[in-house]
A and B are shown apart, each in its own frame.
Chain A
């Protein structure tokens, strides 16, 4: 843990008066709604492509539980990371470092939602899905946030597994088991996470350095980060074709996955070849990294959308 960040732990700004609406907004912000949208989407995709059916009420409940579970993990993450959030420009206005929510209250809120989401999912669907959701929350909070994030530049690689579990939860909610296909969906998001976050960290590394978070550009430099982004993108492109390769989806999906994977690698190649100084720092305001980051979000939405459409309409 870095000195600067560690010294900030426990020292919060005093609570400020706020209106009822802004207070509600702060509690919602603790759930990291933007991250939640991707989690809900991939969880829904896992649920929709799984063989079998689920009563609509139970399906909606399952998605609600995945969303609340992800939000709970986000709230506990914000409680633990309040010291580094306070020194990073991107996160300084979050409810805890800004002094609008007490840390202990955020922790209690997160734990309550985590327990509730796992129990309700178990009661509504099955305990395999509930166990995977519980493990996801544990992985994000303990393995990523508390253990890896401040210790290794590989934090995103291993910690990214937490974000890869939602389609497995969705699948397990319908089938009650975890087989090859949900494992492939897991692998796709797992390989997608490093280039997605490292593209962001190429232009946000100043924030991470200030907070003492050993993101790859901070520890190994921008040049190595560009190389890793390209390598993971080359790994990701064929992984996207696996659902078709194992016979789970048809040629329409394969075409979409090949196109999306090709564009992803091309964008990563542009990041690698961008005009840069000898340290790998961009001379073009990280335009290529920003384009890759934007496209990576589109990639995941489009890939899972194509898989869902292929299964629901063309299978």
Chain B
């Protein structure tokens, strides 16, 4: 692997990690709203 390829690989992995973090955060927010909606309905 050349230094350029290694840098590109690291960049892609960092982007994927951010995407997973956002997805998990989105899921937490979604579960929060689902819980609130279900509680509201009693």
Judge whether B37 and A57 touch: CB under 8 Å.
yes
B12 proximity list for chain A (CB < 8 A) = 18, 20, 23
Judge whether A55 and B30 touch: CB under 8 Å.
no
Determine chain B's interface SS by DSSP, over half rule. helix
Known A-B contacts A17-B5, A17-B8, A55-B37; A61 and B30 likewise in contact (beta carbons under 8 Å): yes
User: Does chain A have a CB within 8 A of B15?
Assistant: yes
Q: Given B5, B15, B37, B38, which contacts A23 in the complex, CB threshold below 8 Å? A: B15
User: Does chain B have a CB within 8 A of A283?
Assistant: no
Judge whether A55 and B40 touch: CB under 8 Å.
yes
B15 proximity list for chain A (CB < 8 A) = 20, 23
Look across to chain A and name the residue whose beta carbon is closest to the beta carbon of B40. A55
Residue among B5, B8, B37 with most chain A CB within 10 A: B37
A242 proximity list for chain B (CB < 8 A) = none
CB distance from B42 to the nearest CB of A (A): 11
Assembled-state Cα–Cα distance A159/B14 (Å): 39
User: Does chain A have a CB within 8 A of B19?
Assistant: yes
Judge whether A61 and B19 touch: CB under 8 Å.
no
User: Does chain B have a CB within 8 A of A184?
Assistant: no
Assembled-state Cα–Cα distance A24/B12 (Å): 10
B31 proximity list for chain A (CB < 8 A) = 120, 123
User: Does chain B have a CB within 8 A of A187?
Assistant: no
A116 proximity list for chain B (CB < 8 A) = 27
User: Does chain B have a CB within 8 A of A58?
Assistant: yes
A24 proximity list for chain B (CB < 8 A) = 19
B14-32 contacts to A, CB under 8 A, are: 15, 19, 27, 30-31
Assembled-state Cα–Cα distance A175/B23 (Å): 29
Known A-B contacts A20-B15, A24-B19, A120-B30; A58 and B37 likewise in contact (beta carbons under 8 Å): yes
Judge whether A123 and B5 touch: CB under 8 Å.
no
Look across to chain B and name the residue whose beta carbon is closest to the beta carbon of A53. B41
Judge whether B19 and A55 touch: CB under 8 Å.
no
User: Does chain B have a CB within 8 A of A263?
Assistant: no
B38 proximity list for chain A (CB < 8 A) = 55, 58, 124
Look across to chain A and name the residue whose beta carbon is closest to the beta carbon of B32. A57
Look across to chain A and name the residue whose beta carbon is closest to the beta carbon of B8. A17
A64 proximity list for chain B (CB < 8 A) = 30
Assembled-state Cα–Cα distance A273/B41 (Å): 57
CB distance from A166 to the nearest CB of B (A): 20
Assembled-state Cα–Cα distance A17/B5 (Å): 8
Assembled-state Cα–Cα distance A18/B9 (Å): 10
Q: Which residues of B contact A (CB under 8 A)?
A: 5, 8, 11-12, 15, 19, 27, 30-31, 33-34, 36-38, 40-41
Since A20-B15, A61-B33 are in contact, a sample of 10 more A-B pairs with Cβ atoms closer than 8 Å, ordered by chain A residue number, is A17-B8, A18-B12, A20-B11, A24-B19, A57-B33, A57-B34, A58-B37, A61-B30, A120-B27, A120-B31
* Complex A-B: 9 CB contacts under 8 Å: A20-B11, A23-B12, A55-B40, A57-B34, A61-B33, A116-B27, A120-B27, A124-B34, A124-B38
